[in-house]
Amino acid sequence: MSRTVAFIGLGHMGGPMAANLVKSGHRVRGYDLVAELLDTAGGAGVEPAASAPEAVTGADVVITMLPAGRHLLALYDDILAAARPGTLFVDCSTIDVADARTAHERAVAAGMRALDAPVSGGVVGAEAGTLTFMAGGGPGEFTEAEPLLAAMGRKAVHCGGPAAGQAAKICNNMILGVSMIAVSEAFVLAESLGLSHQALYDVASTASGQCWALSVNCPVPGPVPASPANRDYRPGFAAALMAKDLGLAANAARAGGVRAELGLRAAELYAGYAERGGAGEDFSGIVRTIRDRSGERRA
């Protein structure tokens, strides 16, 4: 069934996601603060709106893809009154779990329905329509959103009630951030012990050290030819985004009194790496800072 969708936030992710909705036969009215992005989306068949409230007026579904929770909450202040009662609000941004809960509450208080549906798969997945969505909200909201999510992605998992999608996203990325640091430290330790990258890879990738950070996104060049390490750490998944997601995980851990000692330390290490010039590199490039700092200690 063709729907009228308001799509707000047409950046790296939102632009191609909106274009994929158009390709699937939906009517999409788009809005972004950056005029050039509206022009680009217009070229892909998205109807440009003059403002966010104009975009949502008369829409069946409102999809948002914004940088952070504060952007979403400020936007909701502007648009909730303009939408038709009962409109489904689907937020695909990665935001703080507490902000996601607040966004749900505000939407429902305004007579709307809400689903959080953050994604993994990056810009490549957004362009190819192969994203994975992690959704939080009621079963009816998930069922209604499913055909739209299917137009933008390959898989959608209903994780539970409000904010469960955001929770799943940051828990997964905490595993990923910690495991990438563990794999990187193991390679630097191997170097200092005279063990080759390939030998460590051949053992660990078929033993209990096996994980995605090792066998798909291997942080040293050689063992996995397609990993970003082989192209000077061009992303892939940028370290700035890993730092952001680990920061959200750290906030949630502190708020819940969870002693996620490695997760909190990973958040600090990725924040430092991003600040010291690594922001635009693939997150596996953190191996270089571990190596450099180990060299400084040995010197």
Residues annotated as catalytic are 169
Q: Which of 44, 98, 108, 123 binds ligand NAD (CB under 6 A)?
A: 123
Paired with 47 in beta bridges are 29
Distance in angstroms (rounded) separating the CA atoms of residues 153 and 65: 14
- Closest contact distance (angstroms) between CB of 79 and ligand NAD is 9
- Closest contact distance (angstroms) between CB of 213 and ligand NAD is 17
Q: Largest alpha-carbon pair distance within the chain?
A: 66
Distance in angstroms (rounded) separating the CA atoms of residues 201 and 222: 10
Question: Is 66 an interacting residue with respect to ligand NAD (CB under 6 A)?
Answer: yes
- Closest contact distance (angstroms) between CB of 248 and ligand NAD is 9
The CB density around residue 226, as the number of other CB atoms within 10 Å, is 10
CB 136 within 8 A of CB 160: yes
Is 224 or 248 the residue whose CB approaches ligand NAD more closely? Answer: 248
Residue 297's Cβ-side half-sphere holds a number of Cα atoms within 13 Å equal to 7
Is 53 or 209 the residue whose CB approaches ligand NAD more closely? Answer: 53
Question: Is 5 an interacting residue with respect to ligand NAD (CB under 6 A)?
Answer: no
Is 58 or 67 the residue whose CB approaches ligand NAD more closely? Answer: 67
Distance in angstroms (rounded) separating the CA atoms of residues 121 and 114: 23
Per CB under 6 A, contacts with ligand NAD among 129-188 are none
Give contact residues for ligand NAD (rule: CB under 6 A): 8-14, 31-34, 37, 52, 65-67, 71, 75, 93-94, 119-120, 122-123, 241, 244
